[in-house]
Amino acid sequence: MYVNPYSVRTLVLRSGERLPILIERTSGEPLFKPTVYSLSELRATNKASNTIDQTLRSIMLLHLFLQARNIELDERFRQNTILSLNELDDLVRYCKQRIVEQLSTDRFPSQARSPRRAKSESIRLVQSQTIAPGVKGHTAANRIRVIRDYLDWLVRYHIGHTSPSRDEESVLWAAWVRCKDGLSARIPRHKNRNQVGQREGLPNEVRERLLAVTAPESTENPWLSEGVRLRNHLIIRWLHDLGLRRGELLNIKISDINFQAEEVIIARRADDPEDPRKTEPRAKTRDRKLPLSPALCKLKHAQYAVHLHMRLFDCLSAEADESTG
């Protein structure tokens, strides 16, 4: 098994801001130039944490590529060169692969990984051993654009910190223009295919089957706990009835629900200091109110009651343990 030597971690600042950083696994330290780029070019322009995260993952691909091919960019800059045409083609092919394919091809050494504790009431998804080749075209295109912009910043950073002669700067910049144009020319183009008449959403029979199986009283329901059954059924119903995005659903608080008026507020809470999750869910659209059906509102009441009962049971059990101890 081959393990990625790099990782993108998210820091939660006191203000509630989520700040992704690119680190080296062995040392746990952030990579200097990607961090400077992230802070000066992305965070300073109020890019969302998810955008910064995806940008750093594309930069991570560049580092994997350079490490696998023993390319030192700083040394290339000092020699007033960057990447050859063959290396550009290789980099573009790299961006079209999945990370697991890149790691297995380049044979990065495996590292010891700490065992993960399994959670109760969870269903494990077993991945197939057969890996689908490549990523989608728009994903590869985004990776190439990010790497192109990052290389542009690196060249400017090198020129600003080394102060080369005017002739050396001119040669280096000409080499970068050729490299930049080569990357831009190799970006996969999006094909606008006709989407008229293509099916969207689940067929009626699949939708009815999904609601029937996930009903709390269903004998086919895969979850054992009553509370988990009710919670998961509620998740399906909210997504189905209200058409919410996943991030919008995960961002809802009890205080957002008006049970008397039977409506819910879908609020934007970027960098909420009260949210303990590192990967903070976000609503992409503006705040809005949505009506709740009486059945859905009643279901939420029942789920909330079960949640309070379970928390009360946990508190009483903890007090009993302390008194007997």
User: Helix count (H) and strand count (E) of the chain?
Assistant: 11, 5
Q: What is the pLDDT of residue 101?
A: 80
Q: What is the pLDDT of residue 259?
A: 81
**What are the pLDDT digits (tens) for 25-80?**
999 999 999 999 999 999 989 888 889 999 999 999 999 999 999 999 999 999 99
Closest CA to 164 of 154, 175, 156: 156
For residue 118, what pLDDT band results from cuts at 50, 70 and 90?
very low
Q: Are 20 and 125 in contact (CB under 8 A)?
A: no
Query: Rounded to the nearest 5°, which phi and psi values hold at 253?
Result: -110, 160
Residue 22 β-bridge partners: 8
| Average confidence (pLDDT) over 203-221 | 90
pLDDT of 89 over the 70 cut: yes
Question: To the nearest whole percent, how much of the chain has pLDDT over 70?
Answer: 78
Dig out the tokens for 171 from the structure. Answer: 């040669």
Dig out the tokens for 183 from the structure. Answer: 């990357």
Q: pLDDT averaged over the chain?
A: 81
Of the spans 125-129, 148-152, 158-162, 260-264, which averages the highest pLDDT?
148-152
Residue 10 β-bridge partners: 20
Q: What is the pLDDT of residue 21?
A: 95
Identify the burial level of 82 via C-beta atoms within 10 angstroms of its C-beta, where 0-12 means exposed, 13-18 middle and 19 or more buried. Answer: buried
Q: Are 31 and 24 in contact (CB under 8 A)?
A: yes
Q: What are the domain boundaries of the chain?
A: 6-111+134-185, 204-324
The overall longest dimension of the chain from CA atoms, in Å, is: 81
Taking the C-alpha atoms of residue 77 and residue 237, their distance in angstroms, rounded to an integer, is: 56
pLDDT of 201 over the 60 cut: yes
Q: What is the pLDDT of residue 133?
A: 64
pLDDT of 236 over the 60 cut: yes
Q: What is the pLDDT of residue 99?
A: 85
Instruction: Tokens 């010891």: give the residue.
Output: 112
For residue 318, what pLDDT band results from cuts at 50, 70 and 90?
low
The H-assigned helical ranges of the chain are 32-37, 49-68, 73-78, 85-95, 99-106, 137-162, 166-185, 204-213, 226-242, 246-250, 294-324
Higher pLDDT, 144 or 270: 144
Higher pLDDT, 166 or 280: 166
Taking the C-alpha atoms of residue 162 and residue 221, their distance in angstroms, rounded to an integer, is: 65
Identify the burial level of 38 via C-beta atoms within 10 angstroms of its C-beta, where 0-12 means exposed, 13-18 middle and 19 or more buried. Answer: buried
Q: What is the pLDDT of residue 197?
A: 58
Identify the burial level of 179 via C-beta atoms within 10 angstroms of its C-beta, where 0-12 means exposed, 13-18 middle and 19 or more buried. Answer: buried
Dig out the tokens for 200 from the structure. Answer: 């969207």
Question: To the nearest whole percent, how much of the chain has pLDDT over 90?
Answer: 39
**What are the pLDDT digits (tens) for 124-151?**
443 444 445 688 889 999 999 999 999 9
Taking the C-alpha atoms of residue 322 and residue 76, their distance in angstroms, rounded to an integer, is: 65
| Average confidence (pLDDT) over 108-124 | 47
Higher pLDDT, 109 or 43: 43
